[in-house]
Structure 1
Amino acid sequence: MTRELCISGVEIDLHEAPLLGPIDCAVKAGWPLTLMGPSGSGKSTLLNWMVGSLPPGLTARGRILLDGDDITDLPPHRRRLGILFQDDLLFPHLTVAENLAFALPGGMGRAAKEGLIQAALAEAELPGHGARDPAGLSGGERARIALMRTLLAEPKALLLDEPFAKLDVALRERFRGFVFAKAAERNLPVLLVSHDPADSAAAGGLTIHLDKGPPAAKPAERGV
């Protein structure tokens, strides 16, 4: 089955003033969609609404469909949308392994959890790092652990809120490739928001520009 994430007729207002939209688009697995725009254009707000955490003062209209199911009104934990932010948001009081375990179901047995954690560490190219303090990891290592924690929750689509912005140029290029490869392996639709054209080029697929009037999609070239 080809997974698909659709947003239909989405409009967002800030204190009753139009902020974003209307937006209609579909994101198929293997063809990431990038929303490009400057700060204040509403792109991160859109992702917040999609995961069910719209801040006060903002109102939204529209629907979210995932694999044909309307998830708009579901509670956040049932939407099956994974999200990755600029900051890795690892818990400083937990080890790397405990951070990964946080994404796993509570009823899972200890051996099963340990197997998944060790597999995630290997996939992140950090075998043997489970007992480490997250503060002792490099920026790129923390970013990879944050992604693996998101993926361990088994989302059906992946939202990216400028997760490459705080990395240096070399790490940014490597992490982009890592993120898109892991999403492709899991057959996930990917919706990226960014202000960096290099992110859009690396993602490929379509790009929607939010700062040039009504949203219009155009293809982005692959490669950085």
Structure 2
Amino acid sequence: MLKLEQAVITQDDFSLRADLSIEPHKKYAVIGPSGAGKSTLLGALCGFVPLAHGRLIWDGRDITDAAPGARPMTMLFQDNNLFPHLSVMQNVGLGLRSDMRLTADDMAKVESALSRVSLADMADRKPGSLSGGQQSRAALARVLVQARPFVLLDEPFAALGPALRNEMLDLVQQLVTETGAALIMVTHDPKDVARIADEVIFVANGIAHAPEPAKELMDNPPPELREYLG
């Protein structure tokens, strides 16, 4: 169990409060208006944004001040965060070792991840020679090799067309189901919630609300969510 206990996250004059629990193996959609703090919430979980108050607890252990690499999660960003001068294999290998001194076992994991996302024959290519969907797959492979209990997605497929976007969402769902990881995904699209989420974290008016079952919440939204959904 991952818990934000009476957390307050601040950036400049923005403040977000969160008191919620995230269970292993479940899929969560984080929705809310633009600028509400969805990406900030993910940044705080990953350790890129510090907590001003409160604690982050993982499996009974306080990890509030833990470095991002020491936390039980990995994050896929909107821009995929691939290094253009490195090959696809090297970019994926960075998920295991920042110095890229990969062991034989590491290489086997990288090759397996690339095969799983259908990029085995593109391992030596540079990101700039890949399509947008292929770049997303490469970034997803890097997440996959890290094998963390929580996978966080900050709208990484927003620039893709609807068909390719749905293909990537389905692939993510398959991978987290296979690995047993929990998924926490920022999205603006209610269709994504129906497609992938077990529960929803609604972020609005300075509060990240505790997760609620997706179907019940979307079928009977509270006034704030109804206003957002239109």
TM-score by length of 1: 0.85
Query: Could you report, residue by residue, the CA deviation over 1:154-180 in whole angstroms, capped at 9, with x for unpaired residues?
Result: 222111111221111001101001112
**Distance (whole Å) between structure 2 residues aligned to residue 169 and residue 107 of structure 1:** 35
Query: Could you report, residue by residue, the CA deviation over 1:173-216 in whole angstroms, capped at 9, with x for unpaired residues?
Result: 01001112111211112212222212222222111222268525
Percent identity of paired positions between Structure 1 and Structure 2: 36
Q: Report SS of the residue matched to 1:92.
A: coil
From 7, 13, 19, the counterpart of 2:15: 19
**Distance (whole Å) between structure 2 residues aligned to residue 14 and residue 114 of structure 1:** 39
Question: Any unmatched runs of 5+ in structure 1?
Answer: none
Give the aligned residue type for 2:16.
L
Which deviates the most, 104-113 or 154-163?
Answer: 104-113
Q: Report SS of the residue matched to 1:128.
A: helix
Spell out the pairing of 1:48-87 with structure 2 (5 A cutoff).
48-54=43-49, 60-87=52-79
The Cα of 1:86 is off from its aligned counterpart by 1.2
Q: What is the Cα-based RMSD across aligned positions, in Å?
A: 2.3
Q: Report SS of the residue matched to 1:132.
A: coil
Give the aligned residue type for 2:56.
I
TM-score by length of 2: 0.83
Residues 1:52 and 1:212: Cα distance change in structure 2 (over 3 Å): closer
Structure 1 runs, 4 residues or longer, greater than 4 Å off: 106-109
Question: Any unmatched runs of 5+ in structure 2?
Answer: 217-230
- Counterpart in the other structure of 2:213: 219
Which deviates the most, 59-68 or 83-92?
Answer: 59-68
Q: Does 1:122 align with 2:115?
A: yes
From 199, 203, 209, the counterpart of 1:210: 203
- Counterpart in the other structure of 1:92: 84
Spell out the pairing of 1:19-58 with structure 2 (5 A cutoff).
19-29=15-25, 31-54=26-49
Given that residues 8 and 52 in structure 2 are in contact (C-alpha distance below 8 angstroms), is that contact kept between their aligned partners in structure 1? Answer: yes
- Counterpart in the other structure of 2:2: 5
Q: Report SS of the residue matched to 2:204.
A: coil
Of Structure 1 and Structure 2, which has the larger fraction of its residues in helix? 2
Q: Report SS of the residue matched to 1:112.
A: helix
Given that residues 5 and 157 in structure 1 are in contact (C-alpha distance below 8 angstroms), is that contact kept between their aligned partners in structure 2? Answer: no
**Distance (whole Å) between structure 2 residues aligned to residue 179 and residue 205 of structure 1:** 14
The Cα of 1:18 is off from its aligned counterpart by 5.6
Given that residues 88 and 126 in structure 2 are in contact (C-alpha distance below 8 angstroms), is that contact kept between their aligned partners in structure 1? Answer: yes
Residues 1:213 and 1:109: Cα distance change in structure 2 (over 3 Å): closer
Give the aligned residue type for 1:66.
W
